[in-house]
């Protein structure tokens, strides 16, 4: 019997917060170990893309979770710490060693279970020169655009927001790409780009916006409304993967697009790369410490985690995008599943 011993949750993003929130609500003590200096994970950097109405991106959900976890007596939080080792007695977890990111100091936390919720890393498109990222002026990522919009600093990307601009979003950058070992869909980016396009068009109606896609992966109850809004707002949804980006002499960005079976050159002022999700930095080390396996793409293989019977890692659970890329809704579902497994197993941990 574990006599109310805590569950250690690695990662304080949406996944880790949602697991902690669900466990605390059911009276189980937990400790969130987050390597950064704040809770919230990646979502803290994403902009609200509301137009004259909420577009249902779920990003503000993270603030509700932080507030709920912070006000709970059942949850303690260690910021600036990461996992160093796992101590077992036979198959049972005894404790978790954690290390300060800043000083390297180590300490031991009593634990009967561990949840890996260490999230993802956005793809870095400079790995593939094709995209012109960090090489051509005016090419940026959806990550950067979110940060500029969120901080109200868009002028560092567009010097005069009042001028008419042509902007293109390129989908599936670093996803669905066998050549870089990422032959999977990151699932969040079609919706997130479309919402951002709508937000920009609403804020700067003089901007002309195109979105180039392989096929639009937009699901959920807002899907129909988003597509309808895109059409009514004149956002050009263009199926096709544009060719290499070239900077013309006047600084504009030129691409080749196939139109009616013919190659057509088009020019844009700015190109936004919708970068996919890659395994988090340090994933190998977390997996090794916890005794988990990684799948072919480097995410945690879910068949080796979960409830007690899922050897070889009893007492170790997985939640969120460290197991599979996805949006916030999918992350919340996965966190709910992890919490339900822990609740079912708790008396035997
Ligand atoms: C540009 C962009 C825009 C997006 N916009 C949307 C959107 O509008 N709507 C939507 O639904 N989804 C969106 N997403 C997807 C969304 O960001 C993810 O679904 C969500 O962040 C997943 O949460 P997570 O907790 O699994 O991972 P993360 O947010 O990555 O959180 C993981 C946490 O774990 C911590 N961590 C990592 N390693 C360790 C370690 N070893 N020890 C301790 N802590 C560790 C990290 O610091 C981080 O705080 C977007 C993604 C991107 C890239
Ligand atoms: S658009 Fe997203 S962040 Fe903005 S209010 Fe709606 S759900 Fe919240
Ligand atoms: S969600 Fe869209 S942009 Fe993202 S990987 Fe899937 S198809 Fe490509």
What is the per-residue pLDDT across 180-229, written as a single tens digit (0 to 9) for each?
A: 999 999 999 999 999 999 999 999 999 999 999 999 999 888 889 999 99
ipTM, two decimals: 0.99
Q: Do 160 and 173 sit in the same domain of this protein?
A: yes
> Looking at the domain assignment, is residue 338 inside a domain?
yes
Mean pLDDT, rounded, for 63-75: 97
> Looking at the domain assignment, is residue 22 inside a domain?
yes
> Looking at the domain assignment, is residue 1 inside a domain?
no
What's the CATH code of the domain at 89? 3.50.50.60
Q: Do 169 and 271 sit in the same domain of this protein?
A: yes
Q: Do 260 and 128 sit in the same domain of this protein?
A: yes
What local confidence, expressed as pLDDT, does residue 3 receive?
A: 63
* DSSP 8-state code for residue 255: E
The number of folded domains in the chain is 2
Q: How far apart are CA 17 and CA 52, in angstroms?
A: 30
Give the pLDDT band (50/70/90) at residue 2. Answer: low
Among 256, 276, 296, the domain-final residue is 276
> Looking at the domain assignment, is residue 107 inside a domain?
yes
What local confidence, expressed as pLDDT, does residue 303 receive?
A: 65
Could you tell me if residue 35 is left (phi over 0), alpha (psi between -120 and 50 degrees) or otherwise beta?
alpha
As for ligand 3, residues whose beta carbon falls within 6 Å of it are 171-172, 175-176, 185-187, 189-190, 214, 217, 274, 276
Q: Do 192 and 286 sit in the same domain of this protein?
A: no
Q: How far apart are CA 200 and CA 208, in angstroms?
A: 10
Give the pLDDT band (50/70/90) at residue 347. Answer: confident
> What mean pLDDT value characterizes the chain?
93
Q: Do 271 and 295 sit in the same domain of this protein?
A: no
Q: Whose Cα sits closest to atom 20 in ligand 1? A: 328
Mean pLDDT, rounded, for 84-101: 95
Residue 156 Cα distances to 153, 195, 201, 268, 270, angstroms: 6, 21, 18, 18, 13
* DSSP 8-state code for residue 105: -
Give the pLDDT band (50/70/90) at residue 311. Answer: very low
Write out pLDDT tens, residues 103-139.
Answer: 999 999 999 999 999 999 999 999 988 899 999 999 9
Question: Quick check: 22 and 336 in contact, CB under 8 A?
Answer: yes
> Looking at the domain assignment, is residue 326 inside a domain?
yes
Mean pLDDT, rounded, for 69-90: 96
Mean pLDDT, rounded, for 38-52: 97
Among 253, 276, 299, the domain-final residue is 276
**What is the signed CA dihedral for 136, 174, 265, 258, rounded to 10 degrees?**
170
Q: How far apart are CA 279 and CA 286, in angstroms?
A: 11
Q: Do 102 and 218 sit in the same domain of this protein?
A: no
Mean pLDDT, rounded, for 304-329: 78
Mean pLDDT, rounded, for 49-74: 96
Q: Do 150 and 259 sit in the same domain of this protein?
A: yes
Mean pLDDT, rounded, for 84-98: 94
Q: Whose Cα sits closest to atom 27 in ligand 1? A: 119
| Signed CA dihedral, 56, 198, 148, 328: sign only | positive
Q: Do 176 and 210 sit in the same domain of this protein?
A: yes
What local confidence, expressed as pLDDT, does residue 330 receive?
A: 95
Domain that holds residue 31: 7-119+280-348
Q: Do 106 and 204 sit in the same domain of this protein?
A: no
Give the pLDDT band (50/70/90) at residue 143. Answer: very high
Q: How far does the centroid of ligand 1 lie from the alpha carbon of residue 320, in Å?
A: 8
Query: 175: Cβ below 6 Å to ligand 1?
Result: no
Question: Quick check: 143 and 275 in contact, CB under 8 A?
Answer: yes
Q: Whose Cα sits closest to atom 8 in ligand 3? A: 172
Residue 2: both structure tokens together: 């574990």
Q: Whose Cα sits closest to atom 2 in ligand 2? A: 57
Give the pLDDT band (50/70/90) at residue 290. Answer: very high
Q: Do 258 and 130 sit in the same domain of this protein?
A: yes
Give every CB contact of residue 242 below 8 A, 6+ residues apart in sequence: 168, 170, 212, 255, 256, 257, 266
> Looking at the domain assignment, is residue 206 inside a domain?
yes
Q: Do 234 and 174 sit in the same domain of this protein?
A: yes
Q: How far does the centroid of ligand 2 lie from the alpha carbon of residue 51, in Å?
A: 10
**Among 274, 304, 260, residue whose Cα is nearest residue 214:** 274
Q: How far does the centroid of ligand 2 lie from the alpha carbon of residue 58, in Å?
A: 6
> Looking at the domain assignment, is residue 2 inside a domain?
no
Among 223, 247, 276, the domain-final residue is 276
> Looking at the domain assignment, is residue 179 inside a domain?
yes
Q: Do 244 and 306 sit in the same domain of this protein?
A: no
Give the pLDDT band (50/70/90) at residue 305. Answer: low
**Among 42, 15, 5, 31, residue whose Cα is nearest residue 278:** 42
């Amino acid at each position: 019997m574990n006599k109310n011993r805590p569950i250690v949750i690695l990662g304080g993003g949406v996944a880790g917060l949602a697991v902690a929130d669900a466990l605390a609500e059911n009276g189980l003590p937990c400790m969130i170990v987050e390597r950064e200096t704040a809770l919230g994970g990646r979502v803290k950097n994403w902009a609200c893309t509301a137009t004259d109405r909420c577009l249902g991106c779920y990003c503000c959900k993270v603030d509700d979770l932080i507030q709920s976890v912070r006000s709970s007596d059942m949850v303690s939080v260690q910021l600036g710490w990461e996992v160093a080792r796992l101590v077992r007695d036979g198959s049972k977890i005894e404790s978790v060693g954690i290390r300060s990111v800043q000083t390297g100091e180590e300490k031991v936390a009593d634990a009967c279970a561990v949840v890996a919720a260490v999230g993802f890393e956005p793809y870095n498109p400079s790995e593939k020169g094709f995209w012109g990222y960090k090489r051509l002026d005016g090419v940026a990522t959806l990550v950067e655009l979110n940060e500029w919009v969120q901080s109200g600093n868009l002028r560092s990307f567009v010097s005069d927001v009042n001028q008419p601009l042509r902007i293109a979003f390129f989908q599936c950058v670093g996803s669905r790409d066998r050549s870089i070992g990422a032959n999977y869909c990151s699932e969040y980016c079609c919706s997130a780009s479309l919402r951002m396009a709508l937000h920009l068009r609403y804020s700067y109606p003089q901007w002309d916006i195109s979105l180039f896609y392989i096929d639009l992966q937009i699901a959920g109850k807002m899907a129909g409304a988003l597509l309808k809004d895109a059409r009514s707002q004149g956002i050009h949804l263009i199926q096709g993967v544009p060719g290499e980006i070239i900077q013309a002499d006047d600084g504009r960005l030129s691409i080749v697009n196939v139109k009616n079976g013919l190659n057509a050159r088009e020019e844009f002022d700015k190109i936004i790369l919708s970068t996919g999700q890659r395994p988090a930095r340090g994933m190998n080390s977390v997996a090794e410490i916890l005794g988990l396996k990684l799948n072919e793409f480097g995410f945690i293989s879910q068949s080796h985690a979960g409830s007690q019977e899922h050897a070889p890692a009893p007492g170790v659970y997985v939640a969120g995008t460290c197991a599979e890329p996805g949006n916030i809704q999918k992350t919340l579902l996965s966190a709910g599943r992890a919490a339900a497994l822990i609740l079912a197993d708790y008396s035997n941990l």
